[in-house]
Amino acid sequence: MPAQVVEVASIDEVPEGKVKVVWADGRQIALCNYGGTVYAIDDVCTHDRGPLDQGELIGKEIECPRHGARFDVTTGVATRLPAIRPVRTYPVHIAAGKISVEV
């Protein structure tokens, strides 16, 4: 199945240092604005399936509020235990102030 690009938010809805949850093609995705660039990751901790958006964005890492696992939002790599598996990332496209995610 080919990837599709889904418009999910406007750029002003995701200020720098913040996270916004959106839905794209039936997937719950966290948009994370780190350093003025928006990244998209699955909104699910790979350790215990908890929602990542309820955690804090600390630099380029998002921390799961349940057990403190962290993930690099730019790569999806797990950076702190108890998570060891990466979280899925999605390509982000921004045009005319609108954010789209390739799913």
pLDDT at 3: 83
Angle at 20 (CA atoms; ends 62, 41), nearest 5 degrees: 50
102 burial (CB, 10 Å; 0-12 / 13-18 / 19+) is middle
Assign 2 a pLDDT band (cuts: 50, 70, 90).
confident
In whole angstroms, what is the distance from residue 46 CA to residue 42 CA?
A: 9
What does the pLDDT look like over 48-85, one tens digit per residue? 999 999 999 999 999 999 999 999 999 999 999 999 99
Angle at 39 (CA atoms; ends 97, 100), nearest 5 degrees: 40
What residue ranges define each of the domains in the chain, with the CATH number in brackets?
5-102 (2.102.10.10)
What's the chain's average pLDDT? 96
1: pLDDT strictly greater than 70: no
Residue that the structure tokens 């799913």 belong to: 103
Q: State the pTM of this model.
A: 0.95
